[in-house]
Structure 1
């Protein structure tokens, strides 16, 4: 019995799901077939109701149901059949299992402010109804999108003298239709497939990474419910076909694009996403104001309009800006910005910017930038930057920098051609100028030394020098392995500069400050500071290994009297300048010493 019960339960669930699915479909979209010849309308309506599983509600005094009609429809929607019967003289409205019929009122003496066009968007070749097609009027910026059954309904202004209905759909040729009447009527629109676009979409061109970097991109918004076309995989480039420096820019641009898409997803509506995919026309308006991207004077077409001035109370979404854009939170621009762009939270631009960009949190540009970029947290430009970047945390340039990056945090640029990086941490693939910061790293033509040395204060020192030859950072650590009469060790930081002398010779000077560890309780002991100026002559013995030797000038401030024996000794010894005691019990030692080092170098 149990298998029978389970089988019946399964059938009941299946019947429920099927019936629920059928009920979810609008009655007017049900498809039926009917053929009658010179039959009274009331009889035709009865047959349609039986086939569709519903009833009609109407007043026989208002609608002439005694009139006779002929209908020959095969697998057509009830909406289409009713339009064929009544020729636009009757409107239809669904209410549960009823379709209510109303007579279209006679035109009043005063023309209404608006009227409606409705109908289906269909494929001219196959007759298939097309969902997610964009229908808009360019002058009034009124727009709509065909639903899952291909049906559209658009409200147009009556008073406008020249109305043209523009219809756009990906992979289909554009259609423009003049609107001659200023009253409600039914209009089915057919679109012709664009064979070239269809082939390109089904067989996308495979770009090399270099091509992808050079091409301009814009934020892409995916349309919900529309299947995505999977692009063919891009084969890995041969090592000798792509310069190593191009890979970080490619990766950075893709990552910035993902961040940009996240902003667009957050603020753009579904209809705007569909219009963005379908409409390639560029629309212009001198001014627009909006509360959100889909609530404003540009309506749902805001992502297709270039404005000279744009004011956004919360967030704005547009194709371009020609002079000024101000947003309470976020400004999103698909293409270019010229002028001034100010946002309380963030500015996102899909192509190029010329002007000034200010944001409370961050600025993100997928293209090039010329001007001044100021952000409370971070600025990021995927391609070339010319001008000034100022931020509270990070500045990023994906390609060439000709200007300044200033931040108390991180500066990143692929290639620095002019200007300087000024920040706590600076990074560049290559740099023709000098970065200034606590830590600077230039990958290709920078200055780097891993150094092991000895001197009269510490028997062993390990140092790392990074930056460029003109100005580099020094990080050093020293120790004496708990030998008596010596400090335990030291840790320090400094700066330096180096000059090439030719034939593997180099002269460098360092200024380093270190904290000395005299007792085992290093962080709890009274502070002892060591300050050193070192000049060293370096000679490379291989492209990667060098020896250096040179004098040092030293000062040591310590509360430990008698830490060093300054009496004359035999052999190599420092030249003591003297020591001094002050009233606070601090002893200052001064001497001229030496330093010998083995260095592991980069090729610079």
Structure 2
């Protein structure tokens, strides 16, 4: 019986060993002279049909390498170009390169037991110096049992319910990992749901570097993370009271669970199913499907599915999920989905979907979708709909629609900007700006407001006051059949300019005063000749504010430029006068008597053909 078990064990061992060495044992050919290490590694990847994973801060990728050998395997090639100072391990189609210039040894003091209980005690020492190594990780990856060597390198491990040959892995930072096999009195059983080890690339200690991670993750779990790194196991279930009190012990930070229930809180490698923490959850890598915490969730990798935190959710990676917190949500990379934060939402890269908060929404790069908050901030580009109870700020291009209770502030605007107070586009504004005050560095769309300002106006400004700092500015001094003296400021663009108009008639018995607004367009006929159709409406004051008197004009003056700053103008006009004032009162009755009069109830209209002649200061 013992012989049969030994044969089974050896078959399993050699099958696992051959599988693990399949990539490293592949033969390649290298004839390289003074090439950068990074390029050489890419050539080995191409020949071996796999990928490397390594920390570029440790591996000297800019160093020059020379090697000429037509028959060597990948492991031998790496030893030659890296001078035996690194360790290589396979995970899937990846070879992981780990800095490990030193070697360690597991000295077994005692290994005894059976399938129900097996005990191993020993010591971890430096192979060259024969000195004990403290804080080394010793773990059995199938049983998810681990220990950490003490100050003298000693450890003791108790293994229960053994159904597979025991393989103890010893790992320590800067040391090559070693595996020691033990044959217990066991019946070898193949389990479909057997725990398997895999590798996760990237910097997995970021959670531990946060304030909460550093405070709540135990020293033992931090040591395991340093020693074992990205080699992660899977388990169907975890129960935890605290990060240091759980069903996986100090190895919990190296285990991805299908489901984890945490009475207070826990620290895990990740979740591939569901996790419930009555207070908190901390995960160093990815979380999938569902995560709930009464207080907070802290995730070092990516999140997929649904994440709910009573106070806040903090994810260092990217999120494709529905993320809800009464306090705030913070995402280190991009986000897709629905994000609801009571006070604050922060995404450091792109956002796609819907983002809602009572307070602040901040996006580090691009927004594509719908954003609602008291204040919305986008660093690069906004597409879609943005609603700010207070303001919307895009430090780049706004494309789509913005609605703000106070103001929309953009570097560049395309689309529709609606604000109660004002809109500001530092550079080009296309589309529509509508607010009390609108400003655009270069207007190529339309402005609708009380005051419209642009540095350069190539669009349309419609408002009480339109100012184009480097655009269309003209003053006209004129006389017409109704008022002797008239002055008007014309500002905006040639396509559409606004007119602010004042007039008066000072003759005794005919004193009237006019003020109003108008719009015009310059149509160039020749180099010094243009036609300017203009429409306006002016209030007519005749000594009393009790009546509404409006003089509406359509004028078609011809402008002849005399020099760079002066032109003469003149042309016909069509006039329609409306008044509620009786014929017997007011000084405007004189004009009414000269023209045909028609009445509707108590409203009176008079129309006539008039003229306008004057000077235009350019």
Q: Please report the TM-score for the alignment, with normalisation by the length of structure 2.
A: 0.49
Q: Which has the higher strand share?
A: 2
Give 1 or 2 for the bigger CA radius of gyration: 2
Higher relative contact order (CA 8 A, sep 6+): 1
Which of the pair is proportionally richer in helix?
1
